[in-house]
Amino acid sequence: MRFKTLAAVAALATVSYAAQAHGPTRQKVSQTIEINAPADKVWAVLGNFQDGSWIPVVEKTEGKGGNEVKASRVLTLKGGATVEEELAKYDAEKKTYMYRITKVDVKTLPVNDYSSTIEVEGDGAKSKVTWRGAFYRGYMNNDPPPDLNDDASKAAVLGLYKAGLDNVKAKAEKGS
C-alpha cells in the first residue's frame, strides 16, 4: 500500500513539474515581396550564399564552401557583431536555399535554434521572394525578459526580413 501511495505522489509531482517546466515553443515567420524583375536577376542578387551584402546590416561576409551543403559563412554586422551560419540545402535550378545559424549572441538577434529558407519564384518579368524562418526565442527558460521573449524574437526576425527583402527589390529593380 505504501508503495502505491509513493508512486501516486511521484506521478503527481512529475505531472506538476512538467506543467511548470513548459518552455518556449518554436516560432515561425514568413515575409514575401513582389519584385518587378525576372527571377534570374533576383537570384543573382541573393543566390550566392557567400555574399550577404544584400542584407543591409551586413558589413562583410567571409566564408568557405561556396554554395555546397555544409558551406559556412560569418556575417560581420555594422557595429562589429558576428553571425555564423551553415548552408543546409541549395538548389540553384529551383532558386532556393536553406541555412541555419550556428552561432549568434542573443543581444544581436534574440533567437535560438534558427533555420531559414529563401525562395525566388518567377513569372516572366516579375518575381516573388519568400524568406521563412523557424526558431526559438532568445531566452530558453520560462518567464523571459521582454527583449528575449517570443514577440521580441519574431519582431527582430521580421524586421531583418523586411529590410533584406526591400534591399533585394531595390537592387534587382535597378536598371530594369
| DSSP sequence for 106-149 | TTTS-EEEEEEEEEEEEETTEEEEEEEEEEEES--SSS--GGGS
| Sign (positive or negative) of CA dihedral 85, 153, 133, 171 | negative
Q: What pLDDT score does 175 carry? A: 65
Number of C-beta neighbours around residue 84 at 10 A = 14
Facing residues of 75 across strands? 61, 83
Q: What pLDDT score does 14 carry? A: 47
Q: What pLDDT score does 23 carry? A: 78
- What is the pTM (predicted TM-score) of this model? 0.86
Residue ranges of the chain with per-residue pLDDT less than 70: 1-22, 175-176
Q: What pLDDT score does 20 carry? A: 47
Cα–Cα distance for residue pair 172/176, rounded to 1 Å: 7
**Buried b / exposed e along 7-36 (16+ C-beta atoms within 10 A):** eeeeeeeeeeeeeeeeebeebebebebebe
CB-based contacts of 23, cutoff 8 Å, min separation 6: 140, 141, 142
Structural domains present in the chain: 23-173 (3.30.530.20)
Facing residues of 129 across strands? 33, 120
What is the SS3 assignment for 31? strand
Q: What pLDDT score does 12 carry? A: 45
Secondary-structure breakdown of the chain: helix, strand, coil percentages, each rounded to the nearest 5: 30, 40, 30
Q: What pLDDT score does 9 carry? A: 47
